[in-house]
């Protein structure tokens, strides 16, 4: 962070009052004017049915802290009105925050609930959810903005007394049910995510978040105590839209993941309960979301590994860590080596150690690594989560399996050094390619690959989930996703191809691959399978194009290598009358849709 | 707390919230004379004053708080009766 900005924020933090929030925002905005590029600019459109304007200075401060200069605009109080869409199209915001209070949306479901006929409640509830999801769909259709949708806050006062708490239709239980339904409905919409205001307010204390006077006088029901935490949470969500800031956590062992010194105290002498158990659970949770765990510890390796393998109370096992350096070499060197081994940049690394000397050393040697001394420098509530570094709004199957993928990669590298010729090595891998149109549960991963693959991507078309779903229904279009397994395990879903047949000719709309599996020529399988689909649909030619971007230079001659004949207009064509392009003999192909051609060795 | 103390602190708050220099805030500062003191910023003015002085304004106060002199006098009464 810029020195001047850091000083302004530090001075503000000494006494963060409402008035000084306004003054600080003005100061930072002036700095931003003087220094173009000081902050990334983002625009937020708040679509709401209650007064949220008092949150603006808090939002801006939270955004500045995250390196963003946020501009904020508001819809009218009836977001369903046509004005909202007109304004949305004109404003082109990066993010929309849709904040609807149930009390404003439907009195029949809130304060008037006791007078609502029970048989109507279902319809009214469905209507409320449909109204919100309809609005979100319309906004997604007309704008590129990501949409964050607020859950409904549980009311402080609810009609019906204790008896109402006993039935699913009671006022409080109804809000709970609506929230679950809202989460399901929004989960179906690409580019839309939930912001759980209800959980935030429960944490803060519902009463403390509610401003009865504001609600009555100015439709402003949020108390000052609610505004700053909500602003912080909203900015965390905006940051999380881009994906997590960090990917790897490197932990020390002694007095960090257990109490005591394993070399001195032995397995029976160390402590794994209390705060250490909590840390193990949190690290395990992060790992299951795709965060990679690693160890840097000054110890004899066998002591640490034996503990991970055998200690009955040690929740984290050896297999939870994708890499480790347990030796007497300095930790900066060890972390650097693990970054190379995992093929991940040091700026994605977090290092946690109880020893201030180790922390300082790593900070000085590897300035891009984020270093936190355990336990005092963890987030505000003593967790890694609250550091906000691993925020992400989507978890794919791929994320869940990430550690296994890295472990298998490590084993492959070892095998590669032992093999004879490169071809023999590839044969020894026993590659099995699974290639088929995406199953429903794979669509999120396909959409994720479409959004984030930059290098091995011939056309860089960013189709979103909705567009992919319509393609699946088109008989002349085929989406293929490719998984690669080998004797070390699964590489996951690594490639996507989309081919469109237009009469005599088929065109490759999309061809992309994860860079993890480069060098096996598995891309030839994708082209081969797209060609087979095209031939079956009656096409005689398959055409591929390369659309140059700043990042995809590595595939500029891919189609030449795969045997396409380059045309005058720069595209490549394969004639399908001679059969599909060939694939190397080190692939076994499993597909339920395409007949697999006899494989032959590529030239 | 003396009236002068209250007056000084209110001036600082109004300056910070409304984007004025403290020297610009005087007896004439009111919703009518300061453009930034609109109904939305009024919510923030009230929030900031309640935070600074630890008081709660009533519905009537909310409507009455329209200028520096009135703000100072209402806060003075509240603090005296507290």
Q: Which residues of B touch A (CB under 8 A)?
A: 12-13, 15-17, 19, 39-40, 43-44, 47-48, 50-52, 59, 62
Closest Cα in chain B, distance from residue A22 (Å): 5
pLDDT of residue A323: 93
pLDDT of residue A138: 94
Classify residue A50 as exposed, middle or buried by CB count within 10 Å of its CB (0-12, 13-18, 19+).
middle
Residues of B in contact with A231 (CB under 8 A): none
Residue A569 vs residues A318, A508, A546, A572, B58: alpha-carbon distances, Å: 54, 15, 11, 9, 75
**How many residues are present in chain B?**
82
Q: Say if the Cβ atoms of A19 and B17 lie within 8 Å.
A: yes
**Would you give the DSSP letter of residue A576?**
G
Q: Say if the Cβ atoms of B12 and A19 lie within 8 Å.
A: yes
- CA-to-CA distance for A44 and A39, rounded, in angstroms? 15
Q: Say if the Cβ atoms of A17 and B17 lie within 8 Å.
A: no
Picking from B16, B2, B13, B19, the residue whose alpha carbon sits closest to that of residue B68 is B13
Find which of B43, B45, B63 to mutate to test the A interface (most A CBs within 10 Å of its CB).
B43
- State the 10-residue block means of pLDDT for chain A, 603 residues long: 90 95 95 91 96 96 95 93 91 96 93 90 94 95 94 92 90 96 95 96 96 90 95 94 88 96 90 95 94 94 94 94 93 94 90 94 94 90 89 81 81 70 81 91 86 88 87 93 87 92 94 82 93 92 92 89 90 90 90 52 35
- CA-to-CA distance for A498 and A437, rounded, in angstroms? 10
- CA-to-CA distance for A388 and A369, rounded, in angstroms? 15
Q: Helix or strand or coil: residue A173?
A: helix
The tokens for A375 are 């336990």
Q: Say if the Cβ atoms of B44 and A220 lie within 8 Å.
A: no
Please list, in sequence order, all residues whose beta carbon lies within 8 angstroms of the beta carbon of residue A272, skipping any fewer than 6 positions away.
A258, A259, A280, A311, A313, A314, A315
For residue B41, give the chain A residue with the closest CA: A54
pLDDT of residue B25: 95
Please give the biggest Cα pair distance in chain A: 81
Provide the number of CB pairs (under 8 Å) joining chain A to chain B. 45
Strands (E) in A122-191, as ranges, are 146-150
Contact A283, A249 (CB under 8 A): yes
**Would you give the DSSP letter of residue A457?**
B
Strands (E) in A151-266, as ranges, are 192-195, 248-251
pLDDT of residue A497: 96
Which pairing describes strands A321-326 and A489-502: parallel, antiparallel, or unpaired? unpaired
Please list, in sequence order, all residues whose beta carbon lies within 8 angstroms of the beta carbon of residue A358, skipping any fewer than 6 positions away.
A252, A331
ipTM: 0.93
Q: Say if the Cβ atoms of A220 and B16 lie within 8 Å.
A: no
Pick from B15, B43, B59: CB nearest A54? B43
Residue A68 vs residues A42, A63, A202: alpha-carbon distances, Å: 7, 5, 28
pLDDT of residue A419: 57
- How many Cα atoms occupy the beta-carbon half-sphere of A545 within 13 Å? 14
The tokens for A36 are 């173009």
Residue B48 vs residues A50, A324, A425: alpha-carbon distances, Å: 21, 52, 70
Pick from A22, A217, A220: CB nearest B17? A22
Picking from A505, A549, A512, the residue whose alpha carbon sits closest to that of residue A527 is A512
Q: Say if the Cβ atoms of A51 and B43 lie within 8 Å.
A: yes
pLDDT of residue A593: 62
Neighbours of A293 (CB within 10 A): 22
Residues of B in contact with A54 (CB under 8 A): 40, 43-44, 47
Residues of B in contact with A55 (CB under 8 A): none
Pick from B43, B51, B62: CB nearest A17? B51
Q: Say if the Cβ atoms of A54 and B44 lie within 8 Å.
A: yes
Strands (E) in A347-504, as ranges, are 349-353, 370-373, 431-436, 477-486, 489-502
For residue B58, give the chain A residue with the closest CA: A213
- CA-to-CA distance for A511 and A526, rounded, in angstroms? 8
Closest Cα in chain A, distance from residue B36 (Å): 12
Helices (H), A453-575: 465-473, 523-536, 558-561
- CA-to-CA distance for A591 and A572, rounded, in angstroms? 26
Residues of A in contact with B39 (CB under 8 A): 218
Helices (H), A219-273: 224-240, 262-269
Closest Cα in chain B, distance from residue A25 (Å): 10
Contact A581, A562 (CB under 8 A): yes
Which pairing describes strands A477-486 and A489-502: parallel, antiparallel, or unpaired? antiparallel
For residue B12, give the chain A residue with the closest CA: A19
Contact A227, A55 (CB under 8 A): yes
- CA-to-CA distance for A160 and A466, rounded, in angstroms? 42
pLDDT of residue A601: 36
Please list, in sequence order, all residues whose beta carbon lies within 8 angstroms of the beta carbon of residue A317, skipping any fewer than 6 positions away.
A308, A309
Picking from A470, A461, A406, the residue whose alpha carbon sits closest to that of residue A443 is A470
Q: Helix or strand or coil: residue A340?
A: helix
Residue A250 vs residues A240, A274, A286, A305, A327: alpha-carbon distances, Å: 21, 21, 12, 16, 14
Pick from A19, A53, A54: CB nearest B13? A19
Q: Say if the Cβ atoms of B51 and A18 lie within 8 Å.
A: yes
Closest Cα in chain A, distance from residue B47 (Å): 7
Contact A452, A464 (CB under 8 A): no
- pLDDT tens profile B18-75: 999 999 999 999 999 999 999 889 999 999 999 999 999 998 999 899 999 999 999 9
Q: Say if the Cβ atoms of A18 and B62 lie within 8 Å.
A: no
Pick from A17, A213, A216: CB nearest B48? A17
Helix (H) or strand (E) holding A210: none
Q: Say if the Cβ atoms of A19 and B48 lie within 8 Å.
A: yes
Side by side, the strands of the sheet bearing A95-99 are: A68-74, A40-48, A95-99, A146-150, A192-195
For residue A18, give the chain B residue with the closest CA: B48
**How many residues are present in chain A?**
603
Q: Say if the Cβ atoms of B40 and A213 lie within 8 Å.
A: no
Find which of B13, B17, B36, B44 to mutate to test the A interface (most A CBs within 10 Å of its CB).
B44
Neighbours of A506 (CB within 10 A): 28
């Amino acid at each position: 962070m810029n020195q001047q900005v850091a000083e302004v924020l530090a001075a503000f933090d000494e006494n963060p009052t409402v008035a000084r929030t306004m003054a600080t925002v003005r100061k930072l905005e002036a700095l931003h004017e003087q220094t173009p590029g000081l902050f990334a600019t983002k625009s937020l459109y708040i679509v709401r049915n209650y007064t949220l304007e008092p949150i603006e200075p808090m939002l801006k401060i939270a955004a500045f802290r995250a390196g963003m200069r946020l501009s904020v605009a508001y819809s009218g109080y009836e977001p369903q009105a046509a004005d909202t869409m007109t304004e949305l199209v004109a404003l082109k915001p990066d993010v929309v925050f849709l904040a609807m209070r149930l009390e404003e949306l439907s009195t029949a479901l809130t304060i008037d609930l006791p007078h609502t006929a029970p048989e109507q409640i279902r319809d009214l509830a469905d209507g409320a959810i449909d109204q919100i999801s309809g609005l979100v769909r319309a906004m997604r259709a007309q704008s590129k903005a990501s949409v964050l949708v607020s859950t409904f806050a549980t009311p402080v006062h609810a009609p019906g007394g204790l008896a109402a708490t006993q039935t699913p239709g009671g006022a409080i239980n109804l809000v709970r049910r609506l929230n679950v339904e809202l989460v399901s409905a929004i989960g179906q919409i690409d580019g839309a995510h939930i912001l759980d205001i209800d959980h935030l307010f429960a944490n803060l204390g519902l009463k403390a978040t509610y401003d009865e006077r504001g609600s009555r006088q100015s439709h402003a029901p949020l108390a000052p105590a609610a505004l700053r935490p909500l602003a912080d949470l909203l900015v965390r969500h905006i940051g999380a839209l881009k994906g997590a800031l960090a990917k790897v956590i490197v932990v020390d062992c002694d007095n960090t993941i257990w109490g005591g010194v394993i070399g001195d105290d032995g397995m029976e002498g160390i402590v794994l309960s209390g705060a250490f158990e909590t840390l193990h659970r949190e690290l395990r949770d992060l790992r299951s979301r795709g965060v990679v765990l690693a160890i840097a510890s000054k110890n004899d390796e066998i002591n640490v590994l034996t503990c991970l393998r055998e200690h009955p109370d040690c929740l984290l096992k050896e297999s939870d860590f994708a890499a480790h350096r347990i030796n007497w070499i300095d930790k900066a060197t060890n972390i650097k080596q693990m970054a190379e081994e995992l093929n991940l940049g040091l700026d994605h690394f977090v290092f946690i150690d109880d020893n201030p000397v180790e922390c300082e050393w790593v900070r000085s040697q590897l300035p891009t690594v984020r270093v936190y001394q355990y336990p005092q420098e963890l987030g505000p509530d003593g967790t890694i989560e609250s550091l906000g570094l691993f925020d992400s709004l989507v978890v794919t199957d791929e994320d869940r399996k990430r550690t296994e993928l890295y472990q298998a990669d490590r084993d492959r590298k070892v095998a590669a050094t032992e093999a004879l010729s490169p071809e023999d090595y590839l044969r020894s891998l026993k590659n099995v390619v699974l290639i088929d149109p995406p199953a429903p549960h794979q669509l999120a991963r396909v959409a994720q690959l479409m959004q984030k693959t930059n290098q091995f991507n011939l056309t860089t078309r960013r189709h979103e989930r909705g567009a992919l779903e319509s393609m699946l229904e088109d008989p002349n279009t085929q989406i293929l996703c490719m998984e690669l397994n080998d004797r070390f395990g699964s590489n996951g879903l690594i490639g996507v191809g989309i081919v469109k047949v237009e009469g005599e000719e088929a065109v490759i709309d999309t061809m992309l691959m994860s860079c993890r599996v480069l060098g096996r020529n598995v891309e030839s399988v994708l082209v081969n399978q797209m060609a087979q689909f095209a031939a079956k649909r009656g096409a005689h030619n398959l055409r591929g194009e390369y659309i140059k971007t700043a990042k995809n230079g590595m595939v500029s001659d891919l189609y030449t290598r795969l045997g396409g004949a380059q045309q005058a207009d720069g595209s490549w064509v394969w004639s399908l009358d001679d059969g599909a392009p060939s694939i190397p003999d080190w692939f076994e192909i499993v597909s339920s849709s395409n007949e697999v051609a006899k494989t032959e060795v590529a030239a | 707390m003396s009236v002068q103390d209250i007056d000084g602190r209110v001036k600082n708050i109004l300056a910070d919230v409304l984007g004025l220099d403290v020297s610009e805030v005087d007896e004439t500062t009111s919703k009518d004379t300061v453009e930034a003191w609109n109904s939305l910023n009024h919510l923030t003015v009230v929030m900031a004053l309640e935070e600074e002085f630890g008081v709660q304004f009533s519905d009537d106060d909310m409507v009455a708080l329209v200028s520096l002199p009135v703000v100072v006098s209402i806060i003075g009464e509240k603090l005296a009766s507290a």
